Amino acid sequence: MNRRIFLRLAALAAIGVSAALIYRNTAPIGAWNYFRWAARGQKQRFFGPPGIVALGECSSYNTNLLPCLRGLWNQAEMPEVRGKRVLIKPNLVDFLENHPVTTAPEVVVGVADLLFELGAREITVGDGSAFRRETWPIAEANRLASALASRGLKFVDLNYDDPQPVPIKEKWFQRASEFWLPRNVLNSDLIISVPKLKTHHWAGVSLSLKNLLGVVPGARYGWPKNMLHVNGLPLSILGVYQILPPVISVVDGIIGMEGDGPLFGNPVPHGLLAVGRDPVSVDVICTQLMGFSIESVPHLMLAAWAGIGQTHRIKIQGVPRESLQRHYKPPPSI
Partner 1 sequence: MKSKALTYLLSNQNADGGWGYAPLQSSAIEPTSALLLALRDIANCAQSSQRAIEWLRRAQNSDGGWGFNLNDAESGWQTAWAVLALRLTAGEGDGSRRGAKWLLNVQTMQLTPATIQFSMKTLKIDPYLRGWPWLPGEATWIEPTALSVLALVSEADIASSARMNEAIQYFQDRRCPRGGWNVGNPIMFNSALPAGAHTTALVLLALSKLAPKRINPEDIKVLRSEMGRGGGILGLAFGLLALRTLGEDDPLAEVRLSEMQGQNGGWADDLYKTAVVLMALRGKI
Smallest distance, Å, CB 91 to partner 1? 18
How many Å is the Cα radius of gyration of the chain?
21
The reply on whether position 168 binds partner 1 by CB under 8 A is no
Cβ nearer to partner 1, comparing 265 with 309 = 265
The reply on whether position 171 binds partner 1 by CB under 8 A is no
The reply on whether position 226 binds partner 1 by CB under 8 A is yes
Smallest distance, Å, CB 266 to partner 1? 13
Among 38, 66, 118, 141, binds partner 1 (CB under 8 A): 141
Q: Cα separations (Å) of 18 from 11, 15, 33, 37? A: 10, 5, 17, 19
Query: How far apart, in whole angstroms, are the C-alpha atoms of residue 180 and residue 220?
Result: 7
The reply on whether position 22 binds partner 1 by CB under 8 A is no
Smallest distance, Å, CB 205 to partner 1? 16
Residues within window 245-284 making contact with partner 1, judged by CB under 8 A: 260, 264
Query: How far apart, in whole angstroms, are the C-alpha atoms of residue 225 and residue 217?
Result: 8
Whether 271 and 57 have beta carbons less than 8 Å apart is answered as yes
Smallest distance, Å, CB 206 to partner 1? 15
The reply on whether position 163 binds partner 1 by CB under 8 A is yes
Question: Residue 125's beta-bridge partner residues?
Answer: 88, 155
Q: For residue 89, how many other CB atoms are within 10 A of its CB? A: 28
Query: How far apart, in whole angstroms, are the C-alpha atoms of residue 224 and residue 228?
Result: 9
Orientation of helix 31-47 relative to helix 298-306, angle to 10°:
80
The reply on whether position 200 binds partner 1 by CB under 8 A is no
Q: Cα separations (Å) of 83 from 126, 158, 169? A: 19, 23, 28
The reply on whether position 146 binds partner 1 by CB under 8 A is no
Whether 206 and 282 have beta carbons less than 8 Å apart is answered as no
Cβ nearer to partner 1, comparing 117 with 140 = 140
Q: For residue 198, how many other CB atoms are within 10 A of its CB? A: 32
Site string for partner 1, 287-316 (x = CB under 8 A): ------------------------------
Stretches 73-81, 146-154, 156-164, 279-287: which one binds partner 1 (CB under 8 A)? 156-164
Residues within window 81-140 making contact with partner 1, judged by CB under 8 A: 131-134, 136-137, 140
Stretches 33-41, 78-86, 217-225, 278-286: which one binds partner 1 (CB under 8 A)? 217-225
Among 38, 168, 219, 301, binds partner 1 (CB under 8 A): 219
Cβ nearer to partner 1, comparing 61 with 160 = 160
Query: How far apart, in whole angstroms, are the C-alpha atoms of residue 177 and residue 171?
Result: 8
Q: HSE-up of 322 (CA within 13 Å, CB side)?
A: 0
Binding site for partner 1 (CB under 8 A): 131-134, 136-137, 140-141, 160, 162-163, 165, 175-176, 180, 201, 219-224, 226-227, 229-230, 260, 264, 332, 334
